[in-house]
Structure 1
């Protein structure tokens, strides 16, 4: 029996059901495998009283210390969040806060390995805890954790040290693996295990009926991603503005919501561009099945789940040449890789609307990217780490 402790600051809760949902989905797939037991530690960063009552933290502070979350045992210990420090001390504070939790947990769940699911702050904290409990540690890179956090020298040093100390490292795409190696992480310890997609939930439907169910009756472009500058929603709005009659629906939440809404109003696009906010996975699936094209103009990615979810829905994608784009857009049916400009996005969207690929051909591109395949490789990777530690 392989007992895996999943450590992730990126994990859904009652107040943020879509937050890190891909980590949850991967973990549930791993837990479903024979010979594997999994428990999750999802630490909550909260400031001291009275700041923890601030609306930004209040819902998080009300989350239970332990709960059954969609079939997974999830522990949510609290660690000290120091506002204004930009997270520079989070890894050390997480490690300190989690030692009592893991000491108690290990009496009933003698975990064999710690699997950190985001490189910062999870990775450095996991290394400290792995040493304390004498278990191997795996750290997974997903994209923004490597591309964004390493822009800060102090945090970059923590990330690189953790990568060099880890027993195993994972990336979600081959280019991200190259980026990790360029930072000084050991190539021989890095495996690329791409993400999965739920081929049952995300599947082709009658596109006309799906559109009508969502209140659309026109060519539709969908985008799924947090409302942050990194995702490039401005570019998509500008692109669709040049395509008469084409509608754009953006699913996601984030600090850019107000500014994007103001931009849409100022451009007179309120009738054609909608900000849907955070919507549950079931509605994301409905949106992607209704869309003629899914576009995401990210400045960087690892390998975005939204790409695969769109393809599984029979919807071609338009994306820049970032992360694992070339691992996904492998045929013309999958869509287009374009320059990260509104002009290039508009041209690619128009081309796919004019000559849409068959839904079955698009879905075929996503067929190999199953959660079953993902969990099989992850199981093997973690099991080998444990065997290597014990010399078996």
Structure 2
């Protein structure tokens, strides 16, 4: 089974946490004896002089080809027009990477294209698969459907990518429903839950992190980019009703200055710690140190941060977004609440009073392993290739 994995969402030296769950999934599947995977991770770069901006400079310096965590990864560039050409991204990507893919395919033919994000990867995979005369699969993860699937300039491309795919994957049943509502065929969509490194993400004794941070009372943590969609501002607004609690914001993003100003306005700036984007390898330590992980996102597929927190034995308080109800089936593991400061504060206070057993909390995600994830992915790809041979 020779698979071409097309993944704009994939970590690199410039952004080591970016799409790390795609890397973990792909690496575990590549460990199967009958699977060979080549990763193409196209890098969107604007024309000069915008390409000299710090945001893009490190991406421009990435090696064209490298071995990354045991995977053979190519990182070709394609033209990006910031603020103007998002609807052109699939065509620009195909134009840039087609010579490479054609050369690789001629040397050793691919059996299937695995697109790991619906936009721009899905429409690009559709065109590449047509040229190579092989099937393709697309995985929906969250914003790729909720944003690009509803943007008038890209909706049609997302829908056609879904309609013409041999098969589709969704990170939750809720995501599958959203795809069907968009017009995709229900029978093509398989729910494919994420995995988690259960060895690394596990309960652990206090190693002094709370003392390092100067936290003596309850520790709350949010994990995710500081962007409006994640709604960390609601957690900050809940703090006045949670005396003694400290909130750690693990992430970076455009809303940081607004969140700092909000904390100061509410008089809780001393109880809000901006930790920045933590290396993924450090995250288990921070999650295990926290009493509760809080994330009232406006939309999600099924957030990896939810699963990783629970695996550390840390209960979660989240909004009813994406697959929240599929994950939180045991009240000991957390609460799904209305996205208001009052509801968040009430749920956090309740869980702090209960102090749930961490091993019991961890049990809620015992089945979320990368081996299980890879087994299901292998079956999905095998099924698509078997159907193609029969036809």
TM range (shorter): over 0.9
CA distance 1:252–1:108, change in 2 (3 Å): farther
The Cα of 1:234 is off from its aligned counterpart by 0.4
The Cα of 1:320 is off from its aligned counterpart by 0.9
The Cα of 1:316 is off from its aligned counterpart by 0.5
Please show how residues 121-132 of structure 1 align to structure 2 within 5 Å.
121-132=120-131
Moved over 6 A (4+): none
Corresponding residue of 2:202: 203
Unaligned runs of 5+ in 2: none
CA–CA separation in structure 2 for the residues paired with 1:275 and 1:213: 14
Residues 230-277 of structure 1 show CA distances to partners (whole Å, capped at 9, x for unaligned) of: 001000111123210001101111111222122223333222111111
The Cα of 1:156 is off from its aligned counterpart by 0.7
Corresponding residue of 1:252: 251
Verify the 8 A CA contact 1:210 1:289 in the aligned structure 2.
no
Matched, 1:133 2:132: yes
Corresponding residue of 1:34: 33
Please show how residues 168-183 of structure 1 align to structure 2 within 5 Å.
168-183=167-182
Corresponding residue of 2:110: 111
Verify the 8 A CA contact 1:136 1:389 in the aligned structure 2.
yes
Describe the SS at the equivalent of 1:153.
Answer: coil
Number of residues of Structure 1 aligned to a counterpart in Structure 2: 391
Verify the 8 A CA contact 1:214 1:287 in the aligned structure 2.
no
Corresponding residue of 1:358: 357
With 211-220 and 361-370 compared, the bigger mean Cα shift is at: 211-220
CA–CA separation in structure 2 for the residues paired with 1:354 and 1:84: 48
CA–CA separation in structure 2 for the residues paired with 1:255 and 1:193: 31
Verify the 8 A CA contact 2:65 2:74 in the aligned structure 1.
yes
Corresponding residue of 2:165: 166
Verify the 8 A CA contact 2:172 2:192 in the aligned structure 1.
yes
Corresponding residue of 1:281: 280
Describe the SS at the equivalent of 2:4.
Answer: strand
Describe the SS at the equivalent of 1:237.
Answer: helix
TM-score, normalised relative to structure 2: 0.97
TM-score, normalised relative to structure 1: 0.97
Corresponding residue of 2:325: 326
The Cα of 1:76 is off from its aligned counterpart by 0.4
CA–CA separation in structure 1 for the residues paired with 2:213 and 2:379: 42
CA distance 1:109–1:273, change in 2 (3 Å): farther
CA–CA separation in structure 1 for the residues paired with 2:241 and 2:212: 26
Corresponding residue of 2:304: 305
Describe the SS at the equivalent of 1:74.
Answer: strand
CA–CA separation in structure 2 for the residues paired with 1:208 and 1:101: 48
CA distance 1:39–1:216, change in 2 (3 Å): farther
CA–CA separation in structure 1 for the residues paired with 2:36 and 2:356: 42
CA–CA separation in structure 2 for the residues paired with 1:109 and 1:169: 25
The Cα of 1:208 is off from its aligned counterpart by 7.2
CA–CA separation in structure 2 for the residues paired with 1:233 and 1:129: 39
Describe the SS at the equivalent of 1:149.
Answer: coil
Corresponding residue of 1:267: 266
CA–CA separation in structure 1 for the residues paired with 2:96 and 2:33: 32
The Cα of 1:109 is off from its aligned counterpart by 4.2
Describe the SS at the equivalent of 1:151.
Answer: coil
Describe the SS at the equivalent of 2:87.
Answer: coil
Residues 184-209 of structure 1 show CA distances to partners (whole Å, capped at 9, x for unaligned) of: 10111100010011101100012474
Please show how residues 1-392 of structure 1 align to structure 2 within 5 Å.
2-207=1-206, 209-212=208-211, 214-391=213-390
